[in-house]
Amino acid sequence: MTTAENDLGQRFLFDDTDIRGEILSLQDSYHQVLQNGDYPPALQILLGEFLAGVALLSATLKFDGSISLQAVGKGPVNMIVADCTRQSSLRAITRFSAAPFDGECGETTSTVTDSAALTSLLGSQATLAVTIEPAQGERYQGIVPLERHSLSDCLSDYFHRSEQLPTRICLSADGRRAAGLLLQVLPLSDGTRDEWDEGEEHWRLVNTLVDTLNKQEQLEFGHETLLRRLFYQQKVRMLATRTFRFSCSCSRARTARALLGFGAHELQVMLEEKTPIEITCQFCLQHYRFNKKDIEKLLNDDPTLH
Ligand SMILES: [Zn+2]
């Protein structure tokens, strides 16, 4: 058995079929995200799935920028967001009310649970937004209702709708490792899949095989071993690899811009209440301090206030 990869994503192709794939495993980056918050086991799993999901999505970025996956709801979890840049920098955070999770403190985080709890965690009216933010140019956002039980199914639907290509996504996490597998039919040269007969047969077969995928195996096995076991009759060709890492894009300048959004009056009130103003990035716990002089300089330098 090949050793399970750490923070590595790999592209692959099936010889003789028009199906492409991405497989990835996250460990250190996932640990870092979990270390920055005090999350109950069910949320550790959900965070891992969001990280693996956004890492798979980031493989579709064709320009410099980032992609984020954000679910908002009215359940015990109010918000969960994960983002990934084209350079494979990952981060994630969630906001939740502690009370509904109090009872599960005794659970072990190494148990793989099905994420069928997605709607119960976020509530029945939850939505999932996929936002693509190019380094230059307009951002794009697609929003889908979180109708399905698992994030894997919601993302498969999202791809199917947005790219008009049959897509299958499998995500797993257990508080220690997170893993993702994506299979997608390659577009025909005119960009559509209208005429697709023989390929449909292959797609059905591949999907039937993926149905047998066990979450524990997905988390423990090396990429090549897993693909060989799953698709034992097909020839799989491994292609380019990517290395993921935890990294946050926050900065003092960005935090200052966010502060300016409060307006001059509100900032004066904040300074009177407490000096310096302290802001902590929730993604990476970096502290930023702004004293009276810093705020005055910010206000003086802001062209929108003159
Ligand atoms: Zn940060």
Instruction: Give 131 Cα–ligand 1 centroid separation in angstroms.
Output: 19
Domain membership flag for residue 3 = no
Q: CA 259, CA 254: separation in Å to the nearest integer?
A: 9
Does residue 116 register a pLDDT over 60? Answer: no
Q: What is the CA(82)–ligand 1 centre distance, in A?
A: 13
**Secondary structure of 132-173 in HEC code, one letter for each residue:** EEECCCCCEEEEEECCCCCHHHHHHHHHHHHHCCCEEEEEEE
Statement to judge: residues 265 and 143 lie in one domain: no
Using an 8 Å Cβ cutoff, are 48 and 178 in contact? yes
pLDDT band, very low/low/confident/very high, at 148 (cuts 50, 70, 90): confident
Distance 183 CA to ligand 1 centre (A): 32
pLDDT of residue 80 exceeding 50: yes
245-246 and 89-96 as β-strands: parallel, antiparallel, unpaired? parallel
- Cα of 69 vs centre of ligand 1, distance in Å, is 17
Pair (55, 189) in one structural domain:
yes
Domain holding 281, by residue range, is: 252-305
- The verdict on 90 and 152 lying in the same domain is yes
Q: Do 264 and 129 belong to one domain?
A: no
Residue 188: inside a domain, yes or no? yes
Which structure tokens are listed for 46? 């959900």
Q: Report CA torsion sign: 20, 166, 234, 26.
A: positive
Q: How far is the CA of 90 from the centre of ligand 1 (A)?
A: 11
pLDDT for residue 17: 85
Read off the pLDDT band of 304 (50, 70, 90). Answer: low
**Cα-to-centroid distance, 34 and ligand 1 (Å):** 14
For residues 29 and 71, state if they share a domain: yes
- Which of 246, 271, 288 delimits the end of a domain? 246
- The rounded Å distance from CA 83 to ligand 1 centre is 12
Angle at 245 between CA 242 and CA 251, to 5 degrees: 130
Query: What is the per-residue pLDDT for 202?
Result: 87
Looking at residue 106, its pLDDT comes to 40
More confidently predicted of 99 and 208: 208
Examine the domain organization and report whether 230 and 131 are in the same domain: yes
Is 2 part of any domain?
no
Structure tokens at 219: 């988390």
In angstroms, what is the span from residue 105 Cα to ligand 1's centroid?
Answer: 28
Distance (Å, rounded) from C-alpha 156 to C-alpha 211? Answer: 14
CATH number at residue 80: 3.55.30.10
pLDDT at residue 155 tops 70? yes
Q: Are residues 70 and 219 in the same domain?
A: yes
Decide which of 202, 230, 246 is a domain's last residue. Answer: 246
Candidates 105, 99, 123; CA nearest to 44 is: 105
Per residue in 184-225, pLDDT tens? 998 876 655 555 666 788 899 999 999 999 999 999 999 999
Give me the DSSP letters along 66-98. EEEEEEE-SSSEEEEEEEEETT-EEEEEEEE-S
Counting runs of H as helices and runs of E as strands, what totals does the chain give? 10, 13
> Is 183 or 1 the better-scoring residue by pLDDT?
183
Distance 284 CA to ligand 1 centre (A): 4
Gyration radius of the chain's alpha carbons: 22
CA 104 from chain centre, in angstroms, equals 24
In this prediction the pTM is: 0.88
Is-contact 59 87, C-beta < 8 A?
no
Centroid of ligand 1 to alpha carbon of 87 (angstroms): 16
Share of the chain above pLDDT 90, in %: 59
Q: 38 CA distance to ligand 1 centroid (A)?
A: 17
pLDDT per position as a tens digit, 235-266: 999 998 999 999 999 999 999 999 999 988 99
- Distance in Å, CA 75 to ligand 1 centroid: 26
Q: Which residue in 248, 242, 254 sits closest to 92, CA to CA?
A: 248
Burial class (CB in 10 A: 0-12, 13-18, 19+), 268: middle
How far apart are the CA of 281 and the centre of ligand 1, in A?
5
- The domain tally of the chain equals 2
From 246, 272, 291, the end of a domain falls on 246
**pLDDT above 90: residue 180:** yes
For residues 151-180, give the mean pLDDT: 91
Distance CA 108, CA 175 (A): 9
Q: What is the DSSP code (8-state) at residue 104?
A: G
Q: What is the pLDDT of residue 198?
A: 66
